[in-house]
Amino acid sequence: MGNDGGSIPTRRELVREAAREPTTAQIKEAQREQQEHSWTTCPLSHKALARPVVSDSVGNLYNKDAVLQFLLPGDDGEGISSKSDCEEVLCGRVKGLRDVVELHFEIDTELSEHPSDRANAHRHQRREGWICPITAKPLGPSVKSVYLVPCGHVFAEEAIRQLKGDKCLQCNESYTEDNIIPILPTKEADKERLMARGAKLAEQGLTHSLKKAPGSKKRKKHAESSTDAPNSTAAVATSTSASKSNGAGNGIKNSATASLTARVLNEENEKKKKRKMMGHNENLDSLFTKDKKDGAKRDFMTRGFSIPASARR
């Protein structure tokens, strides 16, 4: 067993080592990378996050146009993942625009970022800086951030905790402690609180944005008509006026949402027109002609050729 160029393997080389559990540092590094990705990339379209940005009931961030394309009926929207992949990401939390809240970020005109963010600018892909209007800290994976429902203004969590108010510092709209939503929470306690809040709102017939769920008014109207039949007309009128006042009609009152929806619909219409044009090709139809006698189509191989009457017998 010598002078042949081989080697004798040792036990250390033959026995595989057991898989080691990741260390605390490795876990924190993986969480930091995941937070950076979630703060900069839309999970539906896999594009860079750009305003308008919306959030669901558990604090995840999405591009609003990607959510609109997902909600449109028909085939998979252009520019997003397949409907099945999007449903797997959303987990049934978004069934309409009432299930998301549009976030209002304070923009840093000087694009001030952490030194680490400037060093990793090629990974972030964000062209504008988001900061807390109270502390002026840049919002991102290094700062725990929250937003308020229903207004959607975003702050650093420490600013809301220290001030301890019940009105938004930007728009002066009232809010409760339950409606302080952490953005991309990492603690299990925060995730459980958000899930419990969503279940509580569903029992009350409300959505994440504190608007009425689509089916709640209809059930209420049927209940009133069954208990008080003579006043059914008045109940229907009241329900209709309430729905108009809440903006639940067919029209979209928000100008930004209306323009974004119109743009998405135009893209879908253009896509359908292209499909129809591909199905109807004039050059291909020119190869065929229609016989006036029997109405049959003849191609360029048999055009102008007819079988003699003697040969038909």
Q: Is 147 helix (H, G, I), strand (E, B) or coil?
A: strand
**What gap in Å lies between CA 183 and CA 179, rounded to an integer?**
12
- Token output for 197: 């809040």
Q: Is residue 12 part of a domain?
A: no
Q: Is residue 117 part of a domain?
A: yes
Q: Is residue 173 part of a domain?
A: yes
Report, in angstroms and rounded to the nearest whole number, the Rg of the chain calculated over CA atoms: 30
Q: Is residue 152 part of a domain?
A: yes
pLDDT of res. 94: 94
Over the chain (313 residues), the average pLDDT of each successive run of 10 is 68 70 85 92 93 95 94 73 88 94 89 48 58 92 94 94 88 94 94 95 95 71 47 46 44 67 78 67 58 55 56 54
Summarize the chain as % helix, strand, coil (round to 5): 45, 15, 45
For residue 52, give the nearest of 93, 1, 13, 104 by alpha carbon: 104
Distance of CA 297 to the CA centre of its chain: 49
| CA neighbours closer than 13 Å in the CB half-sphere of residue 247 | 9
Q: Is residue 305 part of a domain?
A: no
Q: Residue 94, exposed/middle/buried by CB under 10 A (0-12, 13-18, 19+)? A: buried
User: Residue 144 to residues 69, 150, 184, 187: CA-CA distances in angstroms?
Assistant: 30, 20, 9, 11
- 83-109: per-residue pLDDT in tens? 889 999 999 999 999 999 999 999 987
Q: Range of 142's domain? A: 34-187
Q: Is residue 198 part of a domain?
A: no
- What is the number of domains present in the chain? 1
pLDDT of res. 283: 58
**What gap in Å lies between CA 157 and CA 168, rounded to an integer?**
13
- 293-311: per-residue pLDDT in tens? 555 555 555 555 555 656 5
Q: Is 155 helix (H, G, I), strand (E, B) or coil?
A: strand
Length of the chain in residues, anyone? 313
pLDDT of res. 298: 57
Q: Is residue 3 part of a domain?
A: no
pLDDT of res. 57: 95
CATH number of domain containing 144: 3.30.40.10
Q: Is residue 87 part of a domain?
A: yes
